[in-house]
Structure formats: structure tokens, C-alpha cells
Amino acid sequence: MARLQADVLIIGGGATGAATAWDAALRGFDVVLVDRADLAEGTSGRFHGLLHSGGRYVVKDRVAAEECVAENAIVRRILPDAVEDTGGLFVTTPDDDPAYGDRFMEGCRAAGLPAEEIPVAEALRMEPRLNPGIQRAFTVPDGAIDVWKSVWSLAAGAAAHGARILTYHKVLDLHVGDGGVTGARVRNELTGEELDIEAGFTLNASGAWAAQIVHMAGIEGIGVIPGKGIMIAMNHRLVNTVVNRCTMPADGDILVPIRTVSAIGTTDIRAADPDEIPVTQQEVDQMLDGGERLVPGLRQARALRVWAGVRPLFQDDRSGPAAADTRDVSRGHAVVDHAERDGVRRLLTMSGGKLTTMRLMAQDLVDAMCRQLGDERPCRTEHERPPGHEDGRHMQIGDRLRRREATLRDEQLICECELIGRSRLEQTMQTRGTLNLDDVRRQLRLGMGPCQGGFCIYRATGILHGVERLDGEEASASLTSFLQERWKGVWPILYGDQLRQARLDDWIFQGLLDVEHLPEAAAVVPDEELSAS
């Protein structure tokens, strides 16, 4: 079996793992990061897109609110190109108690969050689609954050400092010996090859899967309650500002503008398994009703896509029973020290947290490791920018259009919805060296606009076939799996214009191209039948 050595093994390539790799690499540790899938394919790629101001937590969880206030400012500074400075509003809808606004403002003051009450008329001027019946409105420094940009640049930064980022490498087992963890056995999910990683320290940043990892070290009594949340992307920016309902957290109470769309979310429902989180029609209905409350008429807008993520909420037998509503379990994060808790050294687990606080979580995790190693090295992530953010400018909604206009006459447009040109697509395919269109989708947002890939998927398959010199079978497999992946995100929300679009796409893929009968599928047809015709 192949072997690899490192100071630190990080398990999980979500926001937490990527931030941790960046932090540890900056402190001079030799890092290996593994993820069983692509970067940000776990909860991080299925979140709501909000760079919290902290407003959501000020009444209920002061610590979490204060962390958000501080980290919001830092993330804007170190990952400017991943942040759109949308600003945020908290509004009291006709169904909410206006008095909650006073508690909200009090909480903001205490947490140091710069909130301000503005006249309702002004809020309606800012966001004309808002429910005209709102009673109070407050501004906060919410933002929108692009997780792929964040995670990819943190990982690239870590790599530039020597870290090895191994995607599609799944941890199968932890090696235990000498009073602690000594590394892990991992499997390359693309080739099936196994690999032994010897590590001086192991950091478990596997979020909702963290319990599965610690069980591999024989540790008991730790569980993760997956709290499923769904979000629906609506065509267009129904709002340009993040709009939150000013009330105790409830279902469907935040609308976030994300690039050219806006997402309504979310729910919180216990799930049994973090890998089995189907979306139901009833949840979609709930979400649309919640959205109607903030922006009346939302049901008439076009729903593009629905997705679900799981909140990694920890349950530790040794610290009392967890509350029934997963939303009541603290959103704050904590480092679980397995030396202290279980007598297993060289293993730490990150529990809980938010994307907004990923940097702080990473710092806490690496600090705790340094303490156990007796090798204190100062954290540098508060000021250092990873690659891609050098010019300090926030991303803007028109960025892609501006780039597109510059090459209007000499570049083929492959994805009209997301303005992706051919050379950009080819470059990404080449640098990723991936056979998987879905990897390209996540990185470039290919096929994520209104037509949901109706036109660009075929084109991208043809181009991938050329760039990567795939054979027909590989290209076809990639095409069909992309179609299935896309369907997963649309079938629960098919009504109105998006149903119309889906039918057009059916006609393209099943009528015009007849993808269903690609030869591979025909392989199950008995030979006589093929030759008889």
C-alpha cells in the first residue's frame, strides 16, 4: 500500500477543513487534507449563502452573535472576492410581534452589532418587493458569501504553502496506537486504490460525519443529530439585500440574494442519516409560504432549484441530553479534545459552527493542537489573504457580464444563463483534470441558471469529450450522471415556468438526443434484438 507522511491530517474538505488547512499551513505545518468527495460537497456546498452579521443570534445566543460580528469583518477583509456586500434587513412582518424588535436592538447593542432602525417607507424604497405590511425594519451588515470561491482559494493558499489536498479520498479507518491516533487509511474513490497516511496529528473537520470518524478510533458516546434544512433558489434577485424575519428563528425566514438569483430558506428537521436527505413537497410548500410572508408573490416567481443540507449538531452523552428541536442546540462551535474526554491523544474534533465563523473555528482547532503538541505557533489568518483576493475588491453582480462583454466577439458562449465562455470552461476542465461534469458545474456554476443545463450540458459534454480525450462511454456516463444530479434538484419544485423548462429539457435530452438509449444502456438488451433490426 502507498504511504504518505505529514505533520497534520485534516479530514474534511468543507469550509472548516479548508480554513484549517490554510491556518495550519500558514503556521508552517506539513498538511494533508482529505475529503471523500470534491471540496465543499458536504454541508458547505449546500448552505444558504449568508455571511451572518450576527443578527440572527443576538437574542438567543450572545456568544454566537459576537463571533459573527467579529468574523464577518475579518472574512470581508481576507476573502473579499468571495463576498458580495449586500447588506441586510431584519423586518417585522404582519405576523410577528413588533416588540421583538426592541429585544433585537438590545441584543445588537450588547453584541456590538451595528444595527439601525429605519422607517418602513425607507425599507420599502430599498426593497420594493418587500411585504408592504411590515411594521418595523432594521439594517445590519449581512453579506452574501460564495462558498466555492472561499473554499477553493483557502485550499489553494494552503497548497501554495505545501499542503497536499486530496479530494475523492475517503477515510476508511483511523490508525490507533501509542495512546492516540497515528494516521488513517484512505481510499481513492476514483481509482479504488488505498493509501496509508501517517500523521503526527489528526484534525476531524468532517462536520455531520464527525461521529463516524471518531467511532473509527473506538470512541463512544458521541453522535451527530443531522438537522435537515432546505433552500429554494428563485429566478432573479427578488431582493438585493439579505432579508431576515425579525422574530425567533423559524422556517423560511431568510431570503438571500446570491449572484443572479435569490434563495429562500430554511427548515430544520431531524434526519436519520446525513447522506439521506430527500426534499419533500410539503417542505417546499412550507418554504414558499415563508417566502410569501417576506415577499408577497414569491409563489408566482420561478423556482429554479431546491437543495438540502444538514446541520452538524453534536450530541455528547457526557454532557446531558440534547434538546428536541435541533435548532435549539447551540450554533456555537466547540473543539472536542479526545485526549481529555477519551484518553485518545493526537485527535481533535470540531463540532458545530457556521460557515461565517470558519476561520475562527480553524484557529481554535489549530491552537488546541499546538497546545497538545506543546508547540505554540501564532495564528496568522486574521490578516493574510489567500490567492485570488489580492486586490481587496468585493465581488459584484455584474462581474461576469463585464468579463463577457470584453470577449463578446471572439469567444463562444457555452452557458448562456451563467455567462460561461468556452475558454474558461476548457481551462477549468484542463486544470481540474476531471472526467466529471458535476465537478465543473460546482466550480463554474455551469447549468445552474434558469435553463438548468438544457442547452449547455450537451455542449459541455462535447467539449469535455474533446479536452479530456474521453471515449464515448466515459462522456456518456458523465452526461447521464449530470442529468440525474440536476433532476435531483428540480423535481420537487416543478411548477409554473420551471415545469415548462423541464419539459423543454425533456424534449432535448429524451426526444432530440435520446440520451436514455445511449449504447451503454442498450448493453442490457439481448444481442439478438440488436442484430435483428
Partner 1 sequence: MSRHDVVVVGAGMAGLTAAVRLAEGGATVLVLAKGVGATHLSPATIDVLGYAPDRVDRPLEALAAFAERHPGHPYGVVGAAGVAAAVPWFAERFADGPLAPYAYTGTADENLLLPTAVGVLRPSAVVPETMAGGDLRDGGEVCVVGFRALKDFHPRLAADNLSRHPGVTARGIELDCVPEGRVDVNALGFARAFDDAAFRKDVVARVAGRLHAEERVAFPAVLGIADPHAVWSELQDRLGRPVFEIPTLPPSVPGMRVFATLRERLRRAGSRVVLNNVVTGAEHRGGTVTGVRARVGLRDVVHGADWVVLATGGFASGGVELDSRWAGREVALGLPVAGIPAPGEERFGPAYFGEHPMARAGVAVDADQRPVGADGARVFDNVLVAGATLAGAEPWREKSGEGISLATGHRAAGLILDAAGSAQRSAVAATEG
Tell me which residues touch partner 1 (CB under 8 A): 278, 281-282, 288, 299-300, 303, 409-414, 422, 455, 458-459, 461-463, 465-466, 471-473, 475-476, 479, 483-484, 486-488, 491-492, 494-496, 499-500, 503-504, 506-508, 510-520, 522, 525, 527, 529-531, 533
Q: How far is CA 492 from CA 56, 127, 283, 305, 445, in A?
A: 28, 28, 9, 9, 20
Minimal distance, residue 89 CB to ligand FAD, in Å: 15
User: Could you say whether residue 48 binds ligand FAD (CB under 6 A)?
Assistant: yes
Stretch that binds ligand FAD, among 49-57, 190-198, 322-330, 473-481 (CB under 6 A): 49-57
Query: Which partner from the list partner 1, ligand FAD, none does 515 bind, CB cut-off 5 to 8 Å by kind?
Result: partner 1
| Helix, strand, coil abundance in the chain, percent, nearest 5 | 40, 25, 35
DSSP 345: B
User: Could you say whether residue 356 binds ligand FAD (CB under 6 A)?
Assistant: yes
Query: Which partner from the list ligand FAD, partner 1, none does 401 bind, CB cut-off 5 to 8 Å by kind?
Result: none
DSSP 37: S
Question: Position of cell 470581508?
Answer: 76
Nearer to partner 1, 130 or 288 (CB): 288
Nearer to ligand FAD, 14 or 183 (CB): 14
**What phi and psi, each to the nearest 5 degrees, are found at residue 470?**
-70, 160
Minimal distance, residue 420 CB to ligand FAD, in Å: 21
The two beta strands, 242-245 and 269-270, are unpaired
Instruction: Return the residue of 41, 81, 84, 342 that touches ligand FAD, per CB under 6 A.
Output: 41
Alpha-carbon distance of 408 to 426, in angstroms, equals 17
430: left (phi over 0), alpha (psi -120 to 50) or beta: alpha
User: In terms of C-beta density within 10 A (0-12 exposed, 13-18 middle, 19 or more buried), how is residue 319 classed?
Assistant: exposed
Minimal distance, residue 263 CB to partner 1, in Å: 16
Nearer to partner 1, 122 or 289 (CB): 289
The string of DSSP codes covering 91-130 is EE-TTS-TTHHHHHHHHHHHHT---EEE-HHHHHHH-TTS
Nearer to partner 1, 108 or 429 (CB): 429
Q: Which x/- pattern, by CB under 6 A, does the window 455-494 give for ligand FAD?
A: ----------------------------------------
Radius of gyration, CA atoms only, the chain: 24
Q: Which residues have CB under 8 Å from 370's CB, separation 6+?
A: 27, 376, 377
Q: Which three cell numbers stand for residue 403?
A: 468579463
Are the C-beta atoms of residues 135 and 90 closer than 8 Å to each other?
no
**What phi and psi, each to the nearest 5 degrees, are found at residue 91?**
-125, 145
3-state class (DSSP) for residue 424? helix
SS3 sequence of 439-460: HHHHHHCCCCCCCCCCCHHHHH
The two beta strands, 88-92 and 242-245, are parallel
Q: Which three cell numbers stand for residue 358?
A: 470558519
Minimal distance, residue 13 CB to partner 1, in Å: 27
Residue nearest to ligand FAD (CB): 14
User: Could you say whether residue 206 binds ligand FAD (CB under 6 A)?
Assistant: yes
Stretch that binds ligand FAD, among 155-163, 191-199, 348-356, 467-475 (CB under 6 A): 348-356
Nearer to partner 1, 136 or 486 (CB): 486
Query: Which partner from the list partner 1, ligand FAD, none does 281 bind, CB cut-off 5 to 8 Å by kind?
Result: partner 1
User: Could you say whether residue 310 binds ligand FAD (CB under 6 A)?
Assistant: yes
Are the C-beta atoms of residues 277 and 308 closer than 8 Å to each other?
yes
Query: Which partner from the list partner 1, ligand FAD, none does 531 bind, CB cut-off 5 to 8 Å by kind?
Result: partner 1
Amino acid at 149: K
User: Could you say whether residue 290 binds ligand FAD (CB under 6 A)?
Assistant: no
Question: Position of cell 474521453?
Answer: 470
Q: Which x/- pattern, by CB under 6 A, does the window 401-440 give for ligand FAD?
A: ----------------------------------------
Q: Which x/- pattern, by CB under 6 A, does the window 111-150 give for ligand FAD?
A: ----------------------------------------
Instruction: Return the residue of 72, 247, 262, 266 that touches ligand FAD, per CB under 6 A.
Output: 266
How many chain residues are in contact with ligand FAD, going by CB under 6 A?
41
Alpha-carbon distance of 185 to 71, in angstroms, equals 34
Residue list 221-250, contact with ligand FAD (CB under 6 A)? 229
Contacts with ligand FAD, residue ranges (CB under 6 A): 11-17, 34-37, 41-44, 47-50, 52, 170-171, 205-209, 229, 266, 309-311, 353-356, 504, 507-508, 511-512
